[in-house]
Amino acid sequence: MGVTCQEIFRRLLSNEFEISMSQQSPAILIADSLGLDFLNSVATPVDVPLDWIDDGQGLLAWLDQAGLVPRTTLDGIRDRAMPGELDKVAAQVRELRDWFRSFVQQHKGTPLTAADLSELDPLNQLLERDEMYAQVVARQDGEGSGLAVESLRRWRSPESLLQPIGAALAILLTQEDFSYVKACEGPACTLLFADHTRGHTRRWCSMDICGNRAKQAAHRSRRKERPTR
């Protein structure tokens, strides 16, 4: 994303970020899952609530930083959009985010089963509208000069921007073990993450902020408990 998570948190603490997303603050991508990073696009990482998708321009900036849509595609959609059209799509994205956040909050910590499928109708309805297609193209991965299959998408309108988000949520649901989807243990932090650590011992969104805060609080508590002489 061009800026480390540590730098983002440092700048948040030093009030270098304004609340307005018109300044396109760097997105916080610390979840090890794009689907959860999407939920973290509204968060309270350091006391002050932030919404990276509070309008259409914020949506384009977040999709660019998350790598979900090519920048040239985003530029084309921005140029073709009618006045207010991107803001309306951003509102739809926020509704999707609120709905899916409720699902994740209810199910995190336990494996998903087929019984949970009935709750996912809104996502499946979104995925039905996707216009993905495949083409045979020249290989560009440096592993030879052969051919490869590439997945592409038709971007007919700004509403198409919902599709890569829906795909990221589908990947989260089908490729992550929800037993290890967790919320940061920071008292005021709202960030979620997929715990891929050995032994699944991750507790914090970032050790540089919430982890250190917990260590400092524990240290102060131990000092208070020491008997005075």
Give the model confidence (pLDDT) of 70-116 as tens digits: 999 999 999 999 999 999 999 999 999 999 999 999 999 999 999 99
- Residue 124: inside a domain: no
Coarse DSSP helix, strand, coil percentages of the chain, rounded to the nearest 5 percent: 50, 10, 40
- Contacts of residue 32, Cβ cutoff 8 Å, sequence gap at least 6: 193, 194, 195, 196
Tens digits of residue pLDDT in 199-209: 999 998 887 77
Structural domain contains residue 139: no
Confirm whether 197 is domain-assigned: yes
Answer whether residue 145 shows pLDDT above 50. Answer: yes
Domain that holds residue 60: 5-112+159-225
CATH number at residue 32: 1.10.3300
* Interatomic CA distance for residues 3 and 29, integer angstroms: 10
Using CA atoms, how far apart are residues 188 and 44, in angstroms rounded to an integer? 7
The predicted-structure confidence for 108-143, as pLDDT tens digits, reads as follows: 999 999 999 999 999 999 999 999 999 999 988 777
Residue 151 lies in a domain: no
Domain membership flag for residue 135 = no
The verdict on residue 173 lying in a domain is yes
Q: Give the whole-number percent of the chain exceeding pLDDT 90.
A: 67
| Residue 10 pLDDT > 80 | no
Does 74 map to a domain?
yes
Residue 121 lies in a domain: no
**Total domain count, the chain:** 1
